Amino acid sequence: MNCLSYSGNDCYKYRLAKTRQNVLKDIYKRCDDITLKSPYPKPKKRENTRLKMRFKEAIRDAQEICTDEGAKSKQCHLAWYEVDELEDSMNRYYPDQ
């Protein structure tokens, strides 16, 4: 006499699902911890001395042009426009300052 019965591996499947759930929770928790409290400090931006020097030089040039050509001349306007563009570049490069 042969007797067949179905015994599902529900216990095994349940433990497998719980293990998978715990592993995934741990992975996502570690990822959140790393992004919120990074163990690695942010890399410091290198000083862009060329940009700063060019900015100072552009201010001097604009002042000279405006004294020579006059404050209402087109060259004076363009020189100060260049200073403004360099200042915007510095603000993008150094947003904290």
pLDDT tens profile 30-80: 665 555 555 566 666 677 888 889 999 999 999 999 999 898 999 999 999
pLDDT at 77: 93
**pTM beyond cutoff 0.75:** no
- Does 3 or 46 have the greater pLDDT score? 46
- Does 97 or 47 have the greater pLDDT score? 47
With cut-offs at 50, 70 and 90, classify the pLDDT of residue 90. Answer: confident
**Position 60, amino acid:** R
